[in-house]
Amino acid sequence: MLKVYTDGGFKTSRQPQDINLVSFVSAFWCKDKELIEHITIDKTPTLQHYGNLAEFIAIELAVKYAIEQDENKIVIYTDSKTCLAWINAVNRGVYTKKGKTKVLQFATVKHQEVFDSLVELTEYIDIDIKWISREQNIIGIILEERDI
């Protein structure tokens, strides 16, 4: 079983050449590995905040790493309650809120791609996700200290 801490964040560029792009970082940390991935995607006009997408991709990266390490279970620690709900939806095959089944509607195609990827990856690994406070998130602290 692999225990992993995940985090993500984004910064929008003020440069004119980057007006239609958003850059973010998705990262995970475990006892043997630290991965910080810098990603740039096209902006979605209606989406103002990319933090959940960055967090979601960090989880996907961690799960792929665990599978590469021949792990059969991963415990993910995140400070994102949104991602916690999304991964629980992956595991259950449905999304529930206040006891009612909901259809997940994502803000971008990239959100949907990551969700679909995680659904596929659950065929190879058991994903357990736990919420922790920001102060307990090792990779979150690392990203803040490095001003990433």
pLDDT tens-digit readout, 68-98: 999 999 999 999 998 888 888 777 665 556 6
CB 141 within 8 A of CB 36: no
pLDDT of residue 85: 84
> What is the pTM (predicted TM-score) of this model?
0.84
One CATH from 3.30.420.40, 3.40.50.2300, 3.40.50.720, 3.30.420.10 for 2-145: 3.30.420.10
Domain ranges of the chain: 2-145
Residue 22's pLDDT is 75
Residue 123 CB partners (closer than 8 Å, separation 6+): none
Whole-number average pLDDT of the chain: 84
Q: What is the pLDDT of residues 30-64, one digit of tens each?
A: 988 998 988 887 777 777 667 888 899 999 999 99
